[in-house]
Structure 1
Amino acid sequence: MTAAGRRAVADQPTIVDLHLHSRFSDGDESPGDLARRCIAAGLRVAACTDHDTLDGVAEFAAVAEEGGVRAIPGCELTVTWRGHELHCLAYFVDPSQRALRARVDEVRRAEVAWWRDWFDQAGRVTGVPVDWTLAAQKFGADRVAYRGDYLDLFLGAATGDARFAGYPMGEHASFIQDWCRPGKPLHVPYPWRPALADVVGWVAGAGGVTVLAHPARAFAADELPVRFAELVELGVTGVEVWTTWHDPTEIDRLHRLCEKHQLVPTQGSDHHGVRLKPWAPEPGLVPVDAPDPLDIVARLEQARPTVAAGAR
């Protein structure tokens, strides 16, 4: 199994979950409903970390904290580093900081524009009756929904077309390989994404800290020690270790690397909802629990930079 396809069943309950998604990006639940799930799961600390948006933070926090769950403001930013698309979790940021919001919104707009171009090209090249207007009506014009939902929209519209008969909805690897990779008919050049080093600066300027999400998805095991040393040089605060994208062996290896390089090892289920990630059906479930989940939060908070007054 490739690193990108690796995932571990989440069955270990925990009290801290710093990686959750709502309908403001590619999750299935509203921020309020997500927060209620966190309360029901017995979480003590949680973070709604939608992709490339801070718009769900306030609703999530209001409901979570009313139910006794501490809400950490954050988001998950799409970045580039070492030729990879990576995801960078930002924690303890000030959601009202105008500079950060503008930059986060720019990343999301680039992704939305990419999907608009993809749908318009898909309809034009194949003759299948789809375009961005149809996708925007179904999923929202300023939201980047779950990738599989977009592809299922196309495949559903292509029902009866012999060219696409062999691609079942819900299973997209073959369709992407045959139609969407570079050189294929539906390939659209990937959107702009900021460099990891730039995002570290953005987040620090908003009083927050950065954590590299699920690194074993992107890097081979023998590459990780070198990358960890480079993360320290970039000013990254931590690395996600206890997550549904890592198996127990990877978790142990990453934890050891964090301790060696004095990076904060963090924890998050990457819950998107039961439909989208059935192997992570509830918030607060991971394959292996951190030894002291609350210590993660304390260490992240202690690493926050001092932001000058008026830096809005």
Structure 2
Amino acid sequence: MIVDLHIHTTASDGSWTPAELIEQVRLAGIGLFAVTDHDSVGSLAATARLAREAGLSFIPGVEICSTVRDRNFHILGYGIDHQSKPLEGLLRHNTELMEQADEDSIHKLIAQGLPINYAEYHDYRHNPARGGWKSLSYLTDKGLCADVKEFFSKLFTAERGIVFPTFPSPQAVIATIHAAGGKAVLAHPGSDFHGTMLEETLDSFAEEAIDGVECFHPSQDDATSLRALRWCERHGLLITGGSDCHGVFVPERRLGRPVLHMERLKLESLLV
């Protein structure tokens, strides 16, 4: 069975609706998948229903932002009750932080002389089918960046005084996932924005009672994945992986890539 446990929909910054995603999952030959939208569970109910109808195995998930010493870490929650009140409150809090960060970034860019208008931005309507988010789509349509890479390299930068907000701690995020009946998994620990100290990062999250690690991700090379895999085996933790597919929004991340089969992962406690 092919497995992909990291996929985004229009509930966050992906370009596919639940129905479109189900069709793509079926075409890709994936038998077990998870939706893990950024700080949102908005697609889980519809995806679960459609997956049952299509005979596909589905794990409800979410990808939650947390902050450690000014660095942004993503924590995946699997097998969650998406109606959990503590989870709902945490996701609302993170969403409001990011919406405010987008608002603040537009004001700062205006103050720096960029040819944009706040009233125009306020009235602008982002089309979820594009993927991404409002400020990215607006600034792209204004010709100020070509894509998400230029957005983060030219506009949403520390040099311009624009940074991510301070999200809740990993301890708070993990506790909330556990309270929702889920398992907490550190996402893509080998990503560039986490720094280069992989084992140090993993050891610090082990102290926070993480349940597993996303050992396989398109941003990680084989050597990094192997290091993470061996670390999980030593600690007896869950081993997950996924494409981090966003539909057409991030075209280089293709559904079902890397190709993962059940025997490469350790998912027993997620499948009970």
TM-score for both structures, normalised by structure 2:
0.87
1:181 maps to what in 2? 157
Question: How many Å apart are 1:17 and its aligned residue?
Answer: 0.9
Larger Rg: 1
2:147 maps to what in 1? 170
In the TM superposition, 1:1-312 aligns within 5 A as: 15-126=2-113, 128-131=115-118, 134=121, 137-139=124-126, 146=132, 150-151=135-136, 153-157=138-142, 159=143, 169-170=146-147, 172-173=149-150, 176-177=152-153, 179-184=155-160, 187-217=161-191, 218-221=193-196, 223-273=197-247, 275-281=248-254, 283-286=255-258, 289-290=260-261, 292=263, 296-301=266-271
Residues 114/240 of structure 1: CA separation in 2 closer, same or farther (3 Å cut): same
2:88 & 2:198 partners in 1: Cα distance? 31
**Partner SS state of residue 124, structure 2:** helix
Question: How many Å apart are 1:132 and its aligned residue?
Answer: 6.8
Question: How many Å apart are 1:128 and its aligned residue?
Answer: 1.6
Deviation string, structure 1 residues 249-268 (Cα, Å, up to 9, x no partner): 21112111111222212111
**Partner SS state of residue 292, structure 1:** helix
1:248 & 1:289 partners in 2: Cα distance? 13
1:59 & 1:262 partners in 2: Cα distance? 33
Equivalent AA in structure 2 for residue 280 of structure 1: R
Residues 234/154 of structure 1: CA separation in 2 closer, same or farther (3 Å cut): same
1:71 & 1:298 partners in 2: Cα distance? 14
Equivalent AA in structure 1 for residue 157 of structure 2: R
**Partner SS state of residue 75, structure 2:** strand
1:290 & 1:136 partners in 2: Cα distance? 46
Say which is worse superposed, 250-259 or 188-197, in terms of deviation.
188-197
Residues 301/204 of structure 1: CA separation in 2 closer, same or farther (3 Å cut): farther
Mapped contact 1:90–1:203 kept (Cα < 8 A): yes
Alignment length, in residue pairs?
269
1:136 & 1:51 partners in 2: Cα distance? 24
Deviation string, structure 1 residues 85-125 (Cα, Å, up to 9, x no partner): 01110011101112211111111111111112222332344
Question: How many Å apart are 1:82 and its aligned residue?
Answer: 4.3
Equivalent AA in structure 1 for residue 224 of structure 2: E
Residues 267/80 of structure 1: CA separation in 2 closer, same or farther (3 Å cut): same
Mapped contact 2:80–2:182 kept (Cα < 8 A): yes
1:57 & 1:132 partners in 2: Cα distance? 34
Q: Give ranges in structure 2 of 5+ residues lacking alignment.
A: none
Alignment RMSD, CA only?
2.6
Q: Give ranges in structure 1 of 5+ residues lacking alignment.
A: 1-13, 303-312
Mapped contact 2:186–2:213 kept (Cα < 8 A): yes
Deviation string, structure 1 residues 45-104 (Cα, Å, up to 9, x no partner): 111100001111111111112111121111100111244201110011101112211111
Residue identity (%): 26
Residues 301/235 of structure 1: CA separation in 2 closer, same or farther (3 Å cut): farther
1:279 & 1:179 partners in 2: Cα distance? 22
TM-score for both structures, normalised by structure 1:
0.77
